[in-house]
Amino acid sequence: MALLLGACAGEKNDTDDDPTEVTVGTTTTAGESATSTEGATEPTTTESPTTPATTADSESTSPGETSTGAGEPEATTCEKYCVMLAKCVGLTPEEAQTCPQDCEADLADLEGECLAAATASFECHAGLTCSQVEDLEQGNEGPCTDEGIAQEDVCGFGNVCTIGGGGDGEPSTCEFSRECAGEPLMVMRCTEAACECFEDEVKFGMCASEPICNDFVQLEAKALSCCGIGG
């Protein structure tokens, strides 16, 4: 808080026995006074150096604290976005606590035009009212529709991946697939003879078959260890 130190006019002394008078009614500089001695024809004026008014631009701080005068830092895009989610969508206390960090981690995985588009989309959605959010969730166009379309165009549909797997009931005959926007289709196909790995139908590897087809968790683990296809 800026403080302005200024000069103040003194008050007239009404005591008759005090031979000194301080002139009021005109503005005088702090430290300047006029004294009158009885019997003297000319007043003697004594001046002291004028102290200029000073301003303090920074706030006082306790020992160990530093103040830059810039105030609180502005909330990040992810912090504002998570406030909107907590208010309009609903988050558990744990989700609300980790939401900004999770959001920042998601953005850190992006780059270039995709990062710029996703950030713009998050920033726009962070400013929506709950009614507007509800309209968008129901598929209605509204604020941020353009930003969402732009994100889809350069990033894919939110970088969502489709995971599938299964077989014909035989323990060693099945397949596992992963398809992500903007990425090649990854497939592992298993028979009793072997499990083979494909990228856009081009074979790039294989491994020994195991009876894992009737358990999706085991099938997913096999796809990761054999072909590097993660869920």
Question: Could you report the per-residue pLDDT of 142-172, keeping only the tens digit for each?
Answer: 888 888 888 888 886 545 678 888 888 888 8
70-90 pLDDT tens trace: 567 788 889 999 999 888 888
* Residue with tokens 């509800």, as numbered in its chain: 134
Q: Which of the 8 DSSP states describes residue 117?
A: H
Residues 151 and 182 occupy one common structural domain? no
Residues 88 and 151 occupy one common structural domain? yes
The answer as to whether 60 is a domain residue is: no
Residues 169 and 202 occupy one common structural domain? yes
The answer as to whether 35 is a domain residue is: no
Q: Which of 110, 135, 155 is the last residue of a domain?
A: 155
Q: Looking at per-residue confidence, does 137 or 221 come out higher?
A: 221
Is the confidence at residue 69, as pLDDT, over 70?
no
Residues 109 and 167 occupy one common structural domain? no
| Overall residue count recorded for the chain in this entry | 231
The answer as to whether 139 is a domain residue is: yes
The answer as to whether 66 is a domain residue is: no
Q: Looking at per-residue confidence, does 180 or 26 come out higher?
A: 180
Is the confidence at residue 62, as pLDDT, over 70?
no
Residues 142 and 170 occupy one common structural domain? no
The answer as to whether 166 is a domain residue is: yes
Compute CA distances 98 → 128, 160, 172, whole Å.
Answer: 21, 21, 41
Contact 177, 186 (CB under 8 A): yes
Starting at the edge strand found earlier in the chain, the sheet holding 202-207 runs 161-167, 174-180, 186-190, 195-199, 202-207
Q: What is the pTM of this model?
A: 0.40
Q: Which of 155, 172, 197 is the last residue of a domain?
A: 155
The answer as to whether 121 is a domain residue is: yes
Residues 113 and 174 occupy one common structural domain? no
Residues 141 and 177 occupy one common structural domain? no
Residues 99 and 139 occupy one common structural domain? yes
Which residue range is the domain that position 182 belongs to? 161-227
Look at the chain and report how many structural domains it folds into: 2
The residues with which 44 forms a beta bridge, in sequence order, are 35
The answer as to whether 58 is a domain residue is: no
How many helices (H) does the chain have, and how many strands (E)?
6, 9
Residues 81 and 151 occupy one common structural domain? yes
Cα 38 to chain center, whole Å?
A: 75
Is the confidence at residue 188, as pLDDT, over 80?
yes
**Which helix H or strand E contains 16, and what residues bound it?**
none
Q: Residue 194: count other Cβ atoms within 10 Å of its Cβ.
A: 13
Percent of the chain surpassing pLDDT 90: 27
Q: Which of 94, 127, 155 is the last residue of a domain?
A: 155
Residues 223 and 176 occupy one common structural domain? yes
The answer as to whether 57 is a domain residue is: no
